[in-house]
Structure 1
């Protein structure tokens, strides 16, 4: 479900009209997140660390309204809930796209996410998820401690979904950190909103 944002009454109307005309309207930042406590919690509960931080990122994004904005036919849609479309790695070195519904309760999210992971790992090809616009495109690159990241993009395809990527977990002095890349559509949000996401994401990982 979604509602239409009244652009005429939106404080970012001029920003939306300006950045909507860009061939490349996405901007991105790369940060290093502290995942020490999250890693310990996931392992002590016998949970997947990947699903643990994915759920936290999804929960943080759903709490910040601009992360639920999408552009369609010149209008801004405000979705009630945003789900996940992460890449899933396979043993043969390839990956497939997946679709995971967001549930506020982690155990419920994990239950259905594991089913989706098995389905993708037992399939071949990309099988793009028919998930529509109300998703965030997630990817995990656990082999690389990256400091920046860019995305392959088809400019002929209209896309306003945020893209969040996670890198290699690094152990330093007993603390674990992980690089996180966040790319968002500048017509829908600014650095302020990305900062809010980062703050909330870290708070959730520190629980």
Structure 2
């Protein structure tokens, strides 16, 4: 669970952070990324394409420190890792959310995949329920897939103007690519970090064998 992850207080004064007095500090971008190799790998190994895509994107975001920054008890902290919180659609089209650890916590891709499938199978025992106000305090990011739509852009709900939790959404697999939307806080994340995320996402989605180093 998220409580397992260490955090360190950074030498950054909250009052000196940019964009905290704006109407909102949230901004988004959508980029189409090649994912054919991940799709083929998932099918050849009998794994879920959703699972493996989640693994790639969660690994990418964990390798960029700024996405792991949070404001907690009046201090800027950096978590060593963050987990994904993902909605899982049920047969009646209702949604249950689960918490997903990074693949770096496991010894193999198959072990990680089995961990996700077990959570899905036993969804009633594995739901992640947290107050919205805590989503900016806990080391988590929201991950969701909209596999029916090949979208060009996306907006996300904003719980609070200076919400920090990253949101990653991806769409329909078309012509070997998926659209990936990233929403983050401009308080900590700038264009450079967006560039790094999309580069790392593309690297893992085109080389899924790199997921386990």
Common fold by TM > 0.5: yes
- Within the candidate set 166, 170, 173, 2:174 is matched to 170
SS at match of 1:39: helix
Distance in 2 (alpha carbons) for counterparts of 1:153 and 1:102: 25
SS at match of 2:103: coil
- Structure 1 runs of 4+ off > 4 angstroms? 129-132
1:80 matches 2:89: no
Q: What's the counterpart of residue 211 of structure 2? A: none
Length, aligned pairs only: 194
1:116 matches 2:119: yes
Structure 2 contact 100–116 (Cα < 8 Å) conserved: yes
Q: 1:71 to 1:81 in 2, by over 3 A?
A: same
| Cα deviations by residue, 1:118-159 (Å, 9 ceiling, x for unpaired) | 233x58xx8625786111100111111111111122228x73
Q: What's the counterpart of residue 128 of structure 1? A: 129
Structure 1 contact 64–193 (Cα < 8 Å) conserved: yes
Unaligned runs of 5+ in 1: none
Q: 1:5 to 1:112 in 2, by over 3 A?
A: same
Distance in 1 (alpha carbons) for counterparts of 2:83 and 2:128: 17
Structure 1 contact 96–128 (Cα < 8 Å) conserved: no
Distance in 2 (alpha carbons) for counterparts of 1:114 and 1:83: 16
> Alignment RMSD, CA only?
2.2
